[in-house]
Structure 1
Amino acid sequence: MLTSNGYVLDEQRLGELVAVPEEERGDRAQLRARLQRDGYLFLTGLLDPAAVLAFREYYFGLTGSAADGASYRKVLFEEIVPGPEYAAFCAQPALKGWFEWFLGGEPFLHRRKIIRQTAPGENGIGTATQAHYDLVYLRGGSDQVLSAWIPLGDCPVSRGGLTYLEGSHHRVLEEEAAGRLKRPAASITADLPALAAQYDANWLVADYRAGDVVVHTAHTVHAALDNVSTELRLSTDIRYQRADDAIDDRWQNHWHDRDGL
């Protein structure tokens, strides 16, 4: 049984996130068409798993000794988030180079990069990332910014990975164009089953492995599942765009969970 913020997902409204076939991986035109059609690119094994696991080990090496929440936050926001290890991980050649190739120009990585840790058994509204699309938080720049969600270690469905609402970017694009979604930055809802029914669409899930990356558009609705496993879920989400497109200046400071964005 899969849940998100305590809401039980309808098994009839579940689907599978489809990985990009190997034969398409080097065809930029096909990838762009796929992204336009599906709203996401599930790139299995894009990163070296050893690099992912090394960063995971570095993270837990620093946070593992935190005795309480305040100590953990101090390590996270004063050492890890602004640190050179995190910067190097997010700009590693396998990642930055892919975006340079895909975007067809100099890539720009937003400084505000987010690390999310979810413990087993955390549920109830506010514990998992609620349904949203990223553009509502990035209004000050290009709507062509792309997000990369990266599991920092294996992340089977039970561990609470990201889930995508199938085809949702088409509806969001239409409603954005019509001006019906111009509102302050906010999530859509914590009630994923109700949103699936409203959109008449499935929530797409996958068993992620270390090295996998999911790239999605700023219009694609997504959310996180609850962690119903016995292991911590660790992930990061970062954003790349072309350097010559408009950039949201608010996202050029290091992430803090009290930065108001």
Structure 2
Amino acid sequence: MFSATMSGSEMTLGEKQFFVNDGILPAESIGILSPTALNTPLAEMQRRYKEDGYLLVKNVLPREDVLQVRQSHFEKLAPTGCLAPNTNPVEGIFDMTQNRLNFPGVGAGPPDMTGSDPEVAKQFNDLVLEAHHEDWYKEGLCHHPAIQEFVAKLTGWGENTLSIRRTLLRNNMPQNTAIGVHYDQIFLRHGEDTFITAWVPIGDISIDGGGLIYLEKGHDIGKQTETEFMECANAAGMTDQEMKDAYNANMMSGGLLDVGPLRYAKKHGRRWLLTPYEAGDVVFHNPYAIHASCINHDPENVIRLGTDLRYVDSSRPWDTRWSNILKPGDGL
């Protein structure tokens, strides 16, 4: 049975280097993302979620269910040559003899494809998009009752809890560009800011393996940033439609706040919170929680795989553009 090396789980953060798109995070810019046990009282979970903007809950999903999705996913991608020879697909070990630029990640911003093989990159991207339609992904993970029931209780939405269809399966190959700094409301502005994101690591992720990192108490900065963006857009005479666009003139390319987490942390005097993840964990975060990821430097060259699932209160206005499964050029 696959179990990635959780090399950072019992060591201090100071014993490792954490690479981001614009450098190495210094000791004063990092901290630990606090876990929450599944049997924690609901009121305490709700308090933590409101106060921190996120809730990392251990063992929400059965480990074997998550690993089955990982197995199926990498079996699908194996024809691209991304996996190391003589390894089990569930391990997701990248073949370091391959050109990593042939295997870009979804949602990491426009990749620099200079020197890549366009045919391999297209094959890889097409298979990743196809994976979003597979029953082992849709039914095995996206609509898993364990997450649905948890969100219904955490939010109090009950039977109005709706899992929306557009999701983001993200592969992060060793040393490829990481996800830049952002908050999710940027991309779901055509509805209320009441949705909840469930980030699911599909497999174990070592602490330096490219998992999500969260800006400490960053949701207050996210909320203020959104207010300022809207004020600037209004002053510039933008239409309502233009203001809601994630890629409007007041945003960076790709809807990001910054491509560099190091620079962003220094600007705001906040720490990035990191942790190793295990199959079965889920991080729930609010629309303004600011997050990014480190560059994947897993010591065993494990491919980081995760997905963004989102839930809404179906009785309230929500961004119905997200009603359809991810497709190229959907503008979201």
Fold-level match, TM-score > 0.5? yes
Aligned to 1:111: 165
> Post-superposition shift, 1:174?
3.6
Structure 1 stretches lacking a partner, 5+ long? none
Distance 1:53 1:22, change over 3 A: closer
Contact 2:196 2:310 in 1 (8 A): yes
Contact 1:135 1:143 in 2 (8 A): yes
State the Cα deviation string for residues 111-133 of structure 1 (Å, max 9, x = none): 110101011122xxxx2110000
Separation in 2 of the partners of 1:241 and 1:164?
Answer: 22
Aligned to 1:71: 123
Which letter does structure 2 place at the counterpart of 1:143? Answer: D
Structure 2 residue matching 1:197: 3-state secondary structure: helix
Structure 2 residue matching 1:70: 3-state secondary structure: helix
For residues 203-218 of structure 1, what are the structure 2 equivalents within 5 Å?
203-218=272-287
Q: Please point out which of 132, 135, 148 is paired with 2:185.
A: 135
Between the aligned residues of both structures, percent identity stands at: 30
Contact 1:108 1:243 in 2 (8 A): yes
Separation in 2 of the partners of 1:32 and 1:94?
Answer: 17
Structure 1 residue matching 2:198: 3-state secondary structure: strand
Which letter does structure 1 place at the counterpart of 2:273? Answer: L
Structure 1 residue matching 2:192: 3-state secondary structure: coil
> Post-superposition shift, 1:145?
0.7
Aligned to 2:267: 198
The alignment covers a number of residue pairs equal to 254
Aligned to 2:84: none
Which letter does structure 2 place at the counterpart of 1:49? Answer: R
Aligned to 2:88: none
Output the TM-score relative to the length of structure 1: 0.91
CA radius of gyration, larger in: 2
State the Cα deviation string for residues 5-57 of structure 1 (Å, max 9, x = none): 24221221100000114552xx3322222111000000011111100000000
Structure 1 residue matching 2:214: 3-state secondary structure: strand
Q: Please point out which of 232, 236, 254 is paired with 2:307.
A: 236
Structure 1 residue matching 2:185: 3-state secondary structure: helix
Distance 1:6 1:258, change over 3 A: farther
Q: Which moved more, 1:109-118 or 1:168-177?
A: 168-177
Distance 1:181 1:204, change over 3 A: farther
Output the TM-score relative to the length of structure 2: 0.72
Aligned to 1:35: 49
- Let me know the Cα RMSD of the aligned residues: 1.8
Aligned to 2:34: 18
